[in-house]
Amino acid sequence: MSEQQYDLVVIGAGPGGYHSAIRAAQFGAKVALIERAKLGGTCLNWGCIPTKALYASADLIHKITKNGEEFGVSCELKLDFAKAVERKNKVVEELVQGIGALEKAWKNDVYFGHGKIIGGNVNDGFEISIEGVEMNNIKTKRVIIATGSSPAMIPAFNIDHDRILTSDDILDPNFKTVPERLLIIGAGVIGCEFANIFATFGSKVLMLEYLPTPIATEETLIIKELQKKITSLGIELHVSQNVLSVENTVSGVKATTCSADVPRDQVESAEKFYYEADYCLVSIGRARESKNLGLEELGIVTERGAIKIDAKTTETNVKGIYAIGDVAASGAPMLAHVASYMGDIAVANALASIGNFPVKERTTDYNVIPATIFTNPNIGSVGLRRNQAKALEIEVAMGRFPFMSLGKAKCAGNETGFLMILADKKSHKIIGASCIGAEAPELISEIALAMQHGLTVHDVGETIHSHPTISEMVLEAAEDVFGMAIHKKGRPSFH
Protein backbone atom coordinates (compact mmCIF):
# COMPACT_ATOMS: atom_id res chain seq x y z
CA MET A 1 0.00 0.00 0.00
CA SER A 2 1.67 3.21 -1.09
CA GLU A 3 1.02 6.27 1.01
CA GLN A 4 0.90 9.93 0.09
CA GLN A 5 1.89 12.47 2.72
CA TYR A 6 -0.05 15.73 2.88
CA ASP A 7 -0.02 18.83 5.05
CA LEU A 8 -3.80 18.96 4.94
CA VAL A 9 -6.58 16.60 3.98
CA VAL A 10 -10.02 18.12 3.52
CA ILE A 11 -12.96 15.70 3.62
CA GLY A 12 -15.92 17.03 1.65
CA ALA A 13 -15.76 19.36 -1.37
CA GLY A 14 -18.70 21.68 -0.76
CA PRO A 15 -18.23 25.44 -0.40
CA GLY A 16 -16.48 24.80 2.94
CA GLY A 17 -14.16 22.05 1.71
CA TYR A 18 -13.21 23.08 -1.83
CA HIS A 19 -12.62 26.63 -0.60
CA SER A 20 -10.39 25.41 2.27
CA ALA A 21 -8.35 23.25 -0.10
CA ILE A 22 -7.67 26.19 -2.42
CA ARG A 23 -6.94 28.55 0.49
CA ALA A 24 -4.43 26.10 1.99
CA ALA A 25 -2.71 25.69 -1.39
CA GLN A 26 -2.44 29.47 -1.67
CA PHE A 27 -0.34 29.36 1.52
CA GLY A 28 1.87 26.67 -0.02
CA ALA A 29 0.42 23.58 1.66
CA LYS A 30 0.30 20.16 0.03
CA VAL A 31 -3.41 19.38 0.00
CA ALA A 32 -5.73 16.46 -0.74
CA LEU A 33 -9.46 16.98 -1.18
CA ILE A 34 -11.77 13.98 -0.79
CA GLU A 35 -15.29 13.97 -2.22
CA ARG A 36 -17.69 11.04 -2.46
CA ALA A 37 -20.22 12.66 -4.80
CA LYS A 38 -19.64 15.84 -6.79
CA LEU A 39 -17.29 18.79 -6.42
CA GLY A 40 -19.20 21.79 -5.10
CA GLY A 41 -21.30 19.71 -2.70
CA THR A 42 -24.87 20.66 -1.85
CA CYS A 43 -24.47 24.34 -2.71
CA LEU A 44 -23.40 23.79 -6.29
CA ASN A 45 -25.29 20.61 -7.12
CA TRP A 46 -28.45 20.48 -5.00
CA GLY A 47 -28.78 23.87 -3.33
CA CYS A 48 -27.89 27.51 -3.85
CA ILE A 49 -26.81 27.35 -7.49
CA PRO A 50 -29.46 25.15 -9.16
CA THR A 51 -32.25 26.94 -7.28
CA LYS A 52 -30.91 30.30 -8.40
CA ALA A 53 -30.72 29.10 -12.00
CA LEU A 54 -34.40 28.04 -11.80
CA TYR A 55 -35.20 31.24 -9.94
CA ALA A 56 -33.78 33.19 -12.92
CA SER A 57 -36.29 31.47 -15.23
CA ALA A 58 -39.13 32.16 -12.79
CA ASP A 59 -38.03 35.78 -12.49
CA LEU A 60 -38.14 36.20 -16.26
CA ILE A 61 -41.70 34.84 -16.35
CA HIS A 62 -42.58 37.13 -13.49
CA LYS A 63 -41.18 40.21 -15.25
CA ILE A 64 -42.97 39.49 -18.52
CA THR A 65 -46.31 38.58 -16.98
CA LYS A 66 -46.28 41.26 -14.31
CA ASN A 67 -45.46 44.29 -16.37
CA GLY A 68 -44.35 43.22 -19.84
CA GLU A 69 -47.22 45.02 -21.57
CA GLU A 70 -46.69 48.19 -19.58
CA PHE A 71 -43.04 48.10 -20.65
CA GLY A 72 -44.07 47.79 -24.29
CA VAL A 73 -43.24 44.09 -24.52
CA SER A 74 -46.11 41.75 -25.32
CA CYS A 75 -45.65 38.17 -26.27
CA GLU A 76 -47.46 34.90 -26.06
CA LEU A 77 -45.92 33.12 -23.10
CA LYS A 78 -44.89 29.50 -23.62
CA LEU A 79 -43.39 27.92 -20.53
CA ASP A 80 -40.98 25.02 -20.92
CA PHE A 81 -39.81 23.83 -17.51
CA ALA A 82 -37.73 21.04 -19.06
CA LYS A 83 -35.70 23.70 -20.91
CA ALA A 84 -35.25 25.68 -17.69
CA VAL A 85 -33.99 22.49 -16.01
CA GLU A 86 -31.57 21.84 -18.88
CA ARG A 87 -30.18 25.36 -18.49
CA LYS A 88 -29.92 24.81 -14.74
CA ASN A 89 -28.04 21.55 -15.33
CA LYS A 90 -25.61 23.31 -17.68
CA VAL A 91 -24.96 26.11 -15.18
CA VAL A 92 -24.25 23.53 -12.47
CA GLU A 93 -22.03 21.38 -14.70
CA GLU A 94 -19.92 24.34 -15.81
CA LEU A 95 -19.40 25.54 -12.26
CA VAL A 96 -18.53 22.04 -11.03
CA GLN A 97 -15.96 21.74 -13.80
CA GLY A 98 -14.66 25.16 -12.80
CA ILE A 99 -13.99 23.93 -9.27
CA GLY A 100 -12.13 20.91 -10.68
CA ALA A 101 -10.01 23.21 -12.83
CA LEU A 102 -9.19 25.46 -9.88
CA GLU A 103 -8.14 22.55 -7.66
CA LYS A 104 -5.94 21.30 -10.48
CA ALA A 105 -4.45 24.76 -11.02
CA TRP A 106 -3.49 24.83 -7.34
CA LYS A 107 -2.02 21.31 -7.69
CA ASN A 108 -4.40 19.88 -5.10
CA ASP A 109 -5.02 16.12 -5.35
CA VAL A 110 -8.73 15.36 -5.63
CA TYR A 111 -9.87 11.84 -4.65
CA PHE A 112 -13.40 10.67 -5.40
CA GLY A 113 -14.45 8.29 -2.63
CA HIS A 114 -15.58 8.18 0.97
CA GLY A 115 -12.95 9.61 3.33
CA LYS A 116 -12.53 8.29 6.86
CA ILE A 117 -9.97 9.10 9.54
CA ILE A 118 -8.63 5.74 10.66
CA GLY A 119 -6.08 6.78 13.23
CA GLY A 120 -3.19 8.96 14.28
CA ASN A 121 -2.59 12.07 16.29
CA VAL A 122 -1.40 15.64 15.93
CA ASN A 123 2.29 14.72 16.48
CA ASP A 124 2.58 11.73 14.14
CA GLY A 125 -0.08 12.78 11.65
CA PHE A 126 -3.35 11.13 10.71
CA GLU A 127 -4.15 8.21 8.48
CA ILE A 128 -7.09 8.61 6.10
CA SER A 129 -8.71 5.83 4.12
CA ILE A 130 -10.61 6.53 0.94
CA GLU A 131 -13.18 3.95 -0.07
CA GLY A 132 -13.69 3.81 -3.77
CA VAL A 133 -10.23 4.71 -5.06
CA GLU A 134 -7.27 2.53 -5.88
CA MET A 135 -4.63 4.17 -3.73
CA ASN A 136 -6.82 4.16 -0.68
CA ASN A 137 -4.65 5.30 2.23
CA ILE A 138 -3.11 8.71 2.64
CA LYS A 139 -1.30 10.44 5.51
CA THR A 140 -1.68 14.00 6.59
CA LYS A 141 -0.53 16.39 9.28
CA ARG A 142 -3.92 18.05 9.70
CA VAL A 143 -7.55 17.30 8.74
CA ILE A 144 -10.53 19.50 8.03
CA ILE A 145 -13.92 17.78 8.07
CA ALA A 146 -16.36 19.60 5.79
CA THR A 147 -18.93 16.91 5.08
CA GLY A 148 -21.97 19.20 5.27
CA SER A 149 -25.56 18.14 5.70
CA SER A 150 -28.39 16.40 3.88
CA PRO A 151 -32.17 16.88 3.88
CA ALA A 152 -33.69 15.85 7.22
CA MET A 153 -35.69 12.61 6.88
CA ILE A 154 -38.59 11.79 9.18
CA PRO A 155 -39.82 8.17 8.87
CA ALA A 156 -43.49 9.22 9.07
CA PHE A 157 -43.03 11.40 6.00
CA ASN A 158 -42.27 8.29 3.89
CA ILE A 159 -39.87 10.08 1.57
CA ASP A 160 -39.82 7.72 -1.42
CA HIS A 161 -37.95 10.01 -3.84
CA ASP A 162 -40.77 9.40 -6.30
CA ARG A 163 -43.80 11.43 -5.19
CA ILE A 164 -42.55 12.48 -1.77
CA LEU A 165 -39.36 14.36 -2.41
CA THR A 166 -36.46 16.12 -0.76
CA SER A 167 -34.85 19.24 -2.23
CA ASP A 168 -32.14 16.92 -3.65
CA ASP A 169 -34.81 15.00 -5.58
CA ILE A 170 -36.58 18.05 -6.94
CA LEU A 171 -33.23 19.43 -8.13
CA ASP A 172 -32.21 16.16 -9.74
CA PRO A 173 -31.03 16.83 -13.32
CA ASN A 174 -33.85 14.57 -14.57
CA PHE A 175 -36.72 16.07 -12.57
CA LYS A 176 -38.49 18.08 -15.28
CA THR A 177 -42.06 17.97 -14.00
CA VAL A 178 -44.19 20.93 -13.02
CA PRO A 179 -46.61 19.26 -10.60
CA GLU A 180 -50.17 20.39 -11.08
CA ARG A 181 -50.52 20.48 -7.29
CA LEU A 182 -47.40 20.69 -5.13
CA LEU A 183 -47.53 20.27 -1.38
CA ILE A 184 -44.55 21.78 0.46
CA ILE A 185 -43.89 20.87 4.07
CA GLY A 186 -41.94 23.56 5.89
CA ALA A 187 -42.17 27.25 4.95
CA GLY A 188 -38.55 27.97 5.78
CA VAL A 189 -35.93 29.14 3.33
CA ILE A 190 -36.00 26.11 1.02
CA GLY A 191 -39.80 25.78 1.11
CA CYS A 192 -40.39 29.44 0.24
CA GLU A 193 -37.82 29.45 -2.58
CA PHE A 194 -39.38 26.38 -4.24
CA ALA A 195 -42.92 27.68 -3.67
CA ASN A 196 -42.01 30.81 -5.63
CA ILE A 197 -40.38 28.86 -8.48
CA PHE A 198 -43.15 26.28 -8.94
CA ALA A 199 -46.06 28.70 -8.41
CA THR A 200 -44.55 30.92 -11.12
CA PHE A 201 -44.28 27.92 -13.45
CA GLY A 202 -47.97 27.21 -12.87
CA SER A 203 -48.18 24.73 -9.98
CA LYS A 204 -50.93 25.12 -7.45
CA VAL A 205 -48.74 25.28 -4.34
CA LEU A 206 -49.91 24.48 -0.85
CA MET A 207 -47.53 24.99 2.09
CA LEU A 208 -47.78 23.59 5.60
CA GLU A 209 -45.74 25.22 8.34
CA TYR A 210 -45.44 24.30 12.00
CA LEU A 211 -44.70 27.83 13.25
CA PRO A 212 -47.22 30.71 13.15
CA THR A 213 -45.33 32.37 10.26
CA PRO A 214 -43.12 31.41 7.33
CA ILE A 215 -39.34 32.15 7.57
CA ALA A 216 -39.79 32.86 11.26
CA THR A 217 -36.21 34.05 11.77
CA GLU A 218 -36.71 37.18 9.67
CA GLU A 219 -38.05 40.61 10.75
CA THR A 220 -41.81 40.65 11.25
CA LEU A 221 -42.21 43.50 8.73
CA ILE A 222 -40.37 41.44 6.11
CA ILE A 223 -42.50 38.39 6.83
CA LYS A 224 -45.70 40.44 6.39
CA GLU A 225 -44.49 41.71 3.01
CA LEU A 226 -43.57 38.17 1.92
CA GLN A 227 -46.96 36.88 2.99
CA LYS A 228 -48.63 39.44 0.68
CA LYS A 229 -46.54 38.09 -2.17
CA ILE A 230 -47.28 34.48 -1.29
CA THR A 231 -51.00 35.30 -1.51
CA SER A 232 -50.62 37.18 -4.79
CA LEU A 233 -48.89 34.15 -6.35
CA GLY A 234 -51.91 32.04 -5.40
CA ILE A 235 -49.90 29.99 -2.89
CA GLU A 236 -52.02 28.55 -0.11
CA LEU A 237 -50.11 28.77 3.18
CA HIS A 238 -51.37 27.00 6.31
CA VAL A 239 -49.39 27.94 9.40
CA SER A 240 -49.42 26.38 12.90
CA GLN A 241 -49.80 22.97 11.29
CA ASN A 242 -48.00 19.99 12.75
CA VAL A 243 -47.53 17.58 9.86
CA LEU A 244 -47.81 14.11 11.35
CA SER A 245 -47.44 11.94 8.29
CA VAL A 246 -47.27 11.94 4.52
CA GLU A 247 -48.22 9.03 2.29
CA ASN A 248 -48.01 8.16 -1.36
CA THR A 249 -51.57 7.39 -2.49
CA VAL A 250 -50.40 6.11 -5.90
CA SER A 251 -52.31 8.87 -7.70
CA GLY A 252 -50.67 11.49 -5.50
CA VAL A 253 -49.79 12.32 -1.93
CA LYS A 254 -51.72 12.97 1.23
CA ALA A 255 -50.54 14.75 4.39
CA THR A 256 -52.17 14.45 7.79
CA THR A 257 -51.81 17.32 10.25
CA CYS A 258 -53.11 18.54 13.55
CA SER A 259 -52.84 21.98 15.08
CA ALA A 260 -49.33 22.80 16.26
CA ASP A 261 -50.90 23.89 19.57
CA VAL A 262 -51.85 20.32 20.47
CA PRO A 263 -49.51 18.96 23.17
CA ARG A 264 -47.32 16.05 22.05
CA ASP A 265 -49.13 13.46 24.22
CA GLN A 266 -52.56 14.45 22.87
CA VAL A 267 -51.75 14.30 19.17
CA GLU A 268 -53.37 10.90 18.67
CA SER A 269 -56.82 12.01 19.81
CA ALA A 270 -56.57 15.52 18.29
CA GLU A 271 -58.65 16.69 15.34
CA LYS A 272 -56.87 15.84 12.08
CA PHE A 273 -56.69 17.77 8.80
CA TYR A 274 -55.86 16.27 5.41
CA TYR A 275 -54.14 17.87 2.43
CA GLU A 276 -53.74 16.24 -0.97
CA ALA A 277 -51.53 17.02 -3.95
CA ASP A 278 -49.68 15.33 -6.81
CA TYR A 279 -46.21 15.68 -5.33
CA CYS A 280 -44.84 16.60 -1.93
CA LEU A 281 -41.58 18.41 -1.15
CA VAL A 282 -40.31 17.95 2.39
CA SER A 283 -38.15 20.93 3.45
CA ILE A 284 -38.05 20.83 7.23
CA GLY A 285 -34.37 21.44 7.84
CA ARG A 286 -31.15 19.51 7.38
CA ALA A 287 -29.26 16.72 9.15
CA ARG A 288 -25.47 16.75 9.67
CA GLU A 289 -23.37 14.31 7.68
CA SER A 290 -21.07 12.91 10.34
CA LYS A 291 -21.49 9.14 10.02
CA ASN A 292 -18.69 6.73 9.18
CA LEU A 293 -15.92 9.33 9.39
CA GLY A 294 -14.06 7.54 12.18
CA LEU A 295 -15.17 10.10 14.77
CA GLU A 296 -16.20 7.63 17.50
CA GLU A 297 -12.97 5.63 17.17
CA LEU A 298 -10.88 8.79 17.55
CA GLY A 299 -13.03 10.10 20.41
CA ILE A 300 -14.28 13.16 18.51
CA VAL A 301 -17.33 14.44 20.34
CA THR A 302 -20.60 14.93 18.47
CA GLU A 303 -23.94 16.23 19.65
CA ARG A 304 -27.00 15.00 17.72
CA GLY A 305 -24.78 14.45 14.71
CA ALA A 306 -23.06 17.84 14.87
CA ILE A 307 -19.31 17.78 15.47
CA LYS A 308 -18.43 19.76 18.58
CA ILE A 309 -15.75 22.35 17.94
CA ASP A 310 -13.97 25.14 19.72
CA ALA A 311 -16.21 28.00 18.57
CA LYS A 312 -13.23 30.30 18.13
CA THR A 313 -10.75 28.05 16.31
CA THR A 314 -13.01 25.40 14.67
CA GLU A 315 -10.75 22.66 16.12
CA THR A 316 -12.49 19.54 17.44
CA ASN A 317 -11.62 18.06 20.81
CA VAL A 318 -8.92 16.05 18.99
CA LYS A 319 -5.95 18.31 18.26
CA GLY A 320 -5.17 18.68 14.58
CA ILE A 321 -8.68 17.84 13.39
CA TYR A 322 -10.99 20.72 12.50
CA ALA A 323 -14.66 20.77 11.44
CA ILE A 324 -16.38 23.49 9.45
CA GLY A 325 -19.69 24.31 7.80
CA ASP A 326 -23.00 22.50 8.28
CA VAL A 327 -21.46 19.44 9.97
CA ALA A 328 -19.95 21.52 12.77
CA ALA A 329 -21.78 22.70 15.88
CA SER A 330 -20.64 26.29 15.39
CA GLY A 331 -23.80 28.06 16.50
CA ALA A 332 -23.78 29.90 13.16
CA PRO A 333 -26.49 29.26 10.54
CA MET A 334 -26.05 26.51 7.93
CA LEU A 335 -25.03 28.70 5.02
CA ALA A 336 -22.53 28.21 2.22
CA HIS A 337 -20.71 31.46 2.94
CA VAL A 338 -20.42 30.59 6.64
CA ALA A 339 -18.78 27.29 5.64
CA SER A 340 -16.25 29.07 3.40
CA TYR A 341 -15.50 31.61 6.12
CA MET A 342 -14.99 28.85 8.68
CA GLY A 343 -12.70 27.17 6.15
CA ASP A 344 -10.44 30.22 6.15
CA ILE A 345 -10.22 30.10 9.93
CA ALA A 346 -9.58 26.34 10.04
CA VAL A 347 -6.89 26.55 7.35
CA ALA A 348 -5.13 29.42 9.13
CA ASN A 349 -5.12 27.55 12.44
CA ALA A 350 -4.17 24.20 10.94
CA LEU A 351 -1.23 25.60 8.95
CA ALA A 352 -0.09 27.95 11.74
CA SER A 353 0.07 24.94 14.08
CA ILE A 354 2.30 23.08 11.61
CA GLY A 355 4.55 26.14 11.20
CA ASN A 356 6.57 27.33 8.19
CA PHE A 357 3.52 28.69 6.36
CA PRO A 358 2.95 32.43 5.85
CA VAL A 359 -0.23 32.51 7.92
CA LYS A 360 -1.18 33.35 11.49
CA GLU A 361 -3.80 31.80 13.77
CA ARG A 362 -7.28 33.30 13.45
CA THR A 363 -10.50 33.25 15.45
CA THR A 364 -14.09 33.32 14.26
CA ASP A 365 -16.42 36.29 14.51
CA TYR A 366 -20.04 35.53 13.67
CA ASN A 367 -21.50 38.96 14.43
CA VAL A 368 -21.95 39.88 10.80
CA ILE A 369 -23.45 37.08 8.73
CA PRO A 370 -25.53 38.20 5.79
CA ALA A 371 -28.34 35.87 4.71
CA THR A 372 -30.46 35.78 1.59
CA ILE A 373 -33.72 34.22 0.48
CA PHE A 374 -34.48 34.06 -3.23
CA THR A 375 -38.20 34.48 -3.22
CA ASN A 376 -39.72 37.09 -5.48
CA PRO A 377 -39.05 39.74 -4.26
CA ASN A 378 -35.71 38.75 -2.76
CA ILE A 379 -34.98 38.99 0.93
CA GLY A 380 -31.67 39.88 2.55
CA SER A 381 -30.74 40.42 6.15
CA VAL A 382 -27.71 40.89 8.37
CA GLY A 383 -27.07 41.42 12.07
CA LEU A 384 -29.82 41.92 14.60
CA ARG A 385 -33.60 41.95 14.17
CA ARG A 386 -35.57 44.44 16.32
CA ASN A 387 -36.69 41.75 18.78
CA GLN A 388 -33.10 40.54 19.21
CA ALA A 389 -31.87 44.09 19.84
CA LYS A 390 -34.62 44.53 22.40
CA ALA A 391 -33.64 41.30 24.16
CA LEU A 392 -30.07 42.61 24.32
CA GLU A 393 -31.42 45.89 25.76
CA ILE A 394 -29.99 47.91 22.89
CA GLU A 395 -31.97 51.07 22.19
CA VAL A 396 -32.59 51.08 18.48
CA ALA A 397 -33.11 53.83 15.90
CA MET A 398 -34.63 52.56 12.66
CA GLY A 399 -34.47 53.94 9.13
CA ARG A 400 -36.73 52.57 6.44
CA PHE A 401 -36.85 53.41 2.77
CA PRO A 402 -39.31 52.05 0.19
CA PHE A 403 -38.28 50.91 -3.30
CA MET A 404 -41.22 52.85 -4.78
CA SER A 405 -39.52 56.15 -3.87
CA LEU A 406 -36.28 55.32 -5.66
CA GLY A 407 -35.82 56.48 -9.25
CA LYS A 408 -33.84 53.46 -10.46
CA ALA A 409 -36.26 50.99 -8.88
CA LYS A 410 -39.22 52.78 -10.46
CA CYS A 411 -37.54 52.70 -13.91
CA ALA A 412 -37.06 48.96 -13.58
CA GLY A 413 -40.60 48.39 -12.32
CA ASN A 414 -39.25 47.13 -8.99
CA GLU A 415 -41.43 49.15 -6.67
CA THR A 416 -42.28 46.48 -4.12
CA GLY A 417 -40.54 46.29 -0.75
CA PHE A 418 -38.26 48.31 1.47
CA LEU A 419 -34.91 48.35 3.22
CA MET A 420 -34.73 48.91 6.96
CA ILE A 421 -31.53 49.72 8.83
CA LEU A 422 -31.17 49.48 12.59
CA ALA A 423 -28.63 51.58 14.47
CA ASP A 424 -27.64 51.75 18.09
CA LYS A 425 -29.26 54.94 19.36
CA LYS A 426 -26.22 55.79 21.45
CA SER A 427 -23.31 55.07 19.12
CA HIS A 428 -25.22 55.41 15.82
CA LYS A 429 -23.37 52.27 14.68
CA ILE A 430 -25.30 49.99 12.34
CA ILE A 431 -26.36 46.83 14.16
CA GLY A 432 -28.59 45.18 11.58
CA ALA A 433 -30.57 45.51 8.38
CA SER A 434 -33.35 43.69 6.58
CA CYS A 435 -34.56 44.14 3.06
CA ILE A 436 -37.27 42.76 0.83
CA GLY A 437 -37.20 43.87 -2.77
CA ALA A 438 -35.07 43.93 -5.90
CA GLU A 439 -31.40 43.09 -5.31
CA ALA A 440 -31.98 42.84 -1.55
CA PRO A 441 -29.04 40.43 -1.08
CA GLU A 442 -26.68 42.79 -2.93
CA LEU A 443 -27.82 45.78 -0.85
CA ILE A 444 -27.22 43.83 2.33
CA SER A 445 -23.59 43.21 1.28
CA GLU A 446 -22.76 46.91 1.60
CA ILE A 447 -24.31 47.02 5.04
CA ALA A 448 -22.43 43.88 6.09
CA LEU A 449 -19.14 45.58 5.17
CA ALA A 450 -20.15 48.70 7.10
CA MET A 451 -21.08 46.61 10.16
CA GLN A 452 -17.91 44.53 10.00
CA HIS A 453 -15.92 47.75 10.27
CA GLY A 454 -18.07 49.35 12.96
CA LEU A 455 -19.38 52.17 10.75
CA THR A 456 -22.20 54.49 11.77
CA VAL A 457 -25.23 55.45 9.69
CA HIS A 458 -23.49 58.82 9.16
CA ASP A 459 -20.45 57.09 7.62
CA VAL A 460 -22.76 55.43 5.11
CA GLY A 461 -24.74 58.64 4.56
CA GLU A 462 -21.55 60.54 3.83
CA THR A 463 -20.43 58.03 1.20
CA ILE A 464 -21.20 59.04 -2.39
CA HIS A 465 -23.51 56.46 -3.94
CA SER A 466 -23.74 56.36 -7.72
CA HIS A 467 -26.98 57.68 -9.24
CA PRO A 468 -29.22 56.20 -10.48
CA THR A 469 -28.61 52.86 -8.76
CA ILE A 470 -30.49 50.54 -6.46
CA SER A 471 -27.58 51.05 -4.01
CA GLU A 472 -29.05 54.46 -3.20
CA MET A 473 -31.55 52.48 -1.11
CA VAL A 474 -28.73 52.03 1.42
CA LEU A 475 -27.89 55.73 1.44
CA GLU A 476 -31.53 56.78 1.88
CA ALA A 477 -32.30 54.16 4.56
CA ALA A 478 -29.14 55.16 6.49
CA GLU A 479 -30.15 58.83 6.30
CA ASP A 480 -33.69 57.96 7.32
CA VAL A 481 -32.35 56.61 10.62
CA PHE A 482 -31.87 60.24 11.63
CA GLY A 483 -34.89 61.48 9.65
CA MET A 484 -32.92 63.03 6.82
CA ALA A 485 -33.55 60.86 3.76
CA ILE A 486 -33.97 63.23 0.82
CA HIS A 487 -36.76 61.31 -0.90
CA LYS A 488 -38.85 60.62 2.18
CA LYS A 489 -40.44 62.98 4.62
CA GLY A 490 -38.86 62.49 8.02
CA ARG A 491 -38.27 64.21 11.31
CA PRO A 492 -34.58 64.90 11.92
CA SER A 493 -33.80 63.17 15.20
CA PHE A 494 -30.05 63.24 15.73
CA HIS A 495 -27.03 64.58 13.92
Catalytic center residues = 467
Which residue type does 81 have? F
291: left (phi over 0), alpha (psi -120 to 50) or beta: beta
Task: Report how far apart, in Å, the C-alpha atoms of 311 and of each of 13, 19, 315, 362 are.
Answer: 22, 20, 8, 12
Question: Which residue in 50, 55, 48 sits closest to 148, CA to CA?
Answer: 48
CA atoms 84, 149, 334, 41: torsion sign: negative
- Report in angstroms how near the CB of residue 191 gets to ligand NAI at its nearest: 5
Taking the complex as a whole, how short is the minimal distance between the CB of residue 149 and ligand NAI, in angstroms?
Answer: 8
According to the binding rule CB under 6 A, does residue 187 interact with ligand NAI?
yes
Out of 29, 117, 185, 443, name the contact with ligand NAI by CB under 6 A: 185
Question: Applying CB under 6 A, what is the total number of residues that bind ligand NAI?
Answer: 27
Using the CB atoms, write b or e for 252-282: b if 16+ within 10 Å: bbbbebbeeebeeeeeeeeeebebebbbbbb
CB of 125 or CB of 325, closer to ligand NAI: 325
Between 17 and 115, name the residue whose CB sits nearer to ligand NAI.
Answer: 17
Q: How far is the CB of 387 from ligand NAI (least distance, A)?
A: 17
Q: Report whether 326 contacts 339 (CB < 8 A).
A: yes
CB closer to ligand NAI, 11 vs 244? 244
Q: Is 449 helix (H, G, I), strand (E, B) or coil?
A: helix
H/E run at residue 384:
none
Rounded Cα gap, residues 182 and 195, in angstroms: 8
Contact pick of 166, 242, 302, 316 for ligand NAI (by CB under 6 A): 242
Question: What are the phi and psi torsion angles at 332 (to 5°)?
Answer: -90, 160
Among 61, 165, 171, 373, binds ligand NAI (CB under 6 A): 373
Nearest distance, CB of residue 381 and ligand NAI, angstroms: 11
Determine the residue type at 105: A
Kindly indicate which of the ranges 236-244, 396-404, 414-422, 425-433 contains the residues binding ligand NAI, using the contact rule CB under 6 A.
Answer: 236-244
Q: Beta partners for 415?
A: none
Q: Does 432 bind ligand NAI (CB under 6 A)?
A: no
Minimum distance from CB of 251 to ligand NAI (Å)?
23
Q: In angstroms, what is the minimal distance from the CB of 37 to ligand NAI?
A: 17
- State the sign of the Cα–Cα–Cα–Cα dihedral 295, 301, 306, 310: negative
- Which residues have C-beta within 8 Å of that of residue 360, sequence separation ≥ 6? 348, 352
Segment contacting ligand NAI by CB under 6 A, of 87-95, 111-119, 173-181, 189-197 = 189-197
Sign of the alpha-carbon torsion through 426, 427, 428, 433: negative
The residues near 264 (Cβ < 8 Å, ≥ 6 apart) are: none
Interaction between residue 209 and ligand NAI (CB under 6 A): yes
Minimum CB distance to ligand NAI smaller for 284 or for 457: 284
Stretch that binds ligand NAI, among 92-100, 353-361, 371-379, 421-429 (CB under 6 A): 371-379
Beta carbons of 17 and 33 less than 8 angstroms apart: yes
Residue nearest to ligand NAI (CB): 188
Measure the CA–CA gap between 429 and 441, rounded to whole angstroms.
21
Coil vs helix vs strand at 348: helix
Compute the least distance from the CB of residue 185 to ligand NAI, in Å.
5
Q: Which of 9, 170, 178, 190 binds ligand NAI (CB under 6 A)?
A: 190
Q: Residue 243, interface with ligand NAI (CB under 6 A)? A: yes
- Answer yes or no whether residue 255 interacts with ligand NAI by CB under 6 A: no
Residue of the chain from 193, 219, 315, 480 that contacts ligand NAI (CB under 6 A) = 193
Contact between 324 and ligand NAI (CB under 6 A)?
Answer: no
Q: Among 145, 189, 206, 450, which residue interacts with ligand NAI (rule: CB under 6 A)?
A: 189
CA distances to 5, 217, 250, 264, 278 from 153, rounded to whole Å, are: 38, 22, 21, 19, 20
Q: How far apart are CA 214 and CA 225, in angstroms?
A: 11
Q: Are 209 and 182 in contact (CB under 8 A)?
A: no
Site track 279-318 with ligand NAI (rule: CB under 6 A), x = hit: ----xxxx--------------------------------
Could you say whether residue 211 binds ligand NAI (CB under 6 A)? yes
The residue among 210 and 273 lying less far from ligand NAI, judged by its C-beta, is: 210
Residues 329-348 interacting with ligand NAI (rule: CB under 6 A)? 333-335
Map residues 36-65 to x or -, x wherever contact with ligand NAI holds by CB under 6 A.
Answer: ------------x-----------------
Is there binding between residue 375 and ligand NAI (CB under 6 A)?
A: no
Interface characters, 77-116, with ligand NAI (x: CB under 6 A): ----------------------------------------
Contact criterion met (CB below 8 Å) for 180 and 234? no
Q: Which residues bind ligand NAI (CB under 6 A)?
A: 48, 185-191, 193, 208-211, 216, 241-243, 283-286, 333-335, 372-374
